[in-house]
Amino acid sequence: MRDVSKPRLFFDASALFAGVVSSTGAARALMLLGEAKAVTIVVSEQVLVETERNLAHKAAYALPYYRQALRAIPLRVLADPLPAEVTKHAGIIAHAPDVPILVVAMQVRPDFLVTLNRKHFIDDPGVARKSGLRIGTPGDALAWVRTRLALAGTVQ
């Protein structure tokens, strides 16, 4: 049974990337909360592959930190959706490569989909409406988590 008091956050590759390369940003703070088991961080297999590929191309120095974070944070890793599921939801987001990410997030119903992808996820309000997901930046998610944890009495 799921602990409803523990927020579940679905990270896309941009959020996971930011959490690894930034030592002070909101994505890193959320990852530390995940490591402390105050929140559950959920990703898909595609998110892990994309993050590693992007780190290798843009910030290879951070690959060891990424691998260490994967061991330290009890991530919930979900399988990528079947092609039929992706096809079924093809119009939910304009950028086709993001459809599988959104489909997995919709299947798991996280409390928050965390992304830095403003163009495809955040700036198009139709994505949140059609998916039924709360979508925002790591900063948005961190503010939401702080409020949620404070209301639950776990943060002073």
For the stretch 8-45, pLDDT in tens is 999 999 999 999 999 899 999 999 999 999 999 999 99
Domain for residue 22, yes or no? yes
Question: Is residue 156 in a domain?
Answer: no
Range of the domain at 38: 8-151
Q: CATH number for the domain including 133? A: 3.40.50.1010
In a domain, 2, yes or no: no
Is residue 116, in this structure, part of any structural domain at all?
A: yes
Number of domains in the chain: 1
Q: What is the pTM of this model?
A: 0.93
Which ranges of 22-151 would DSSP assign to H, the alpha helix?
26-35, 45-58, 63-72, 83-88, 99-108, 125-131, 138-151
pLDDT at residue 1 above 70? no
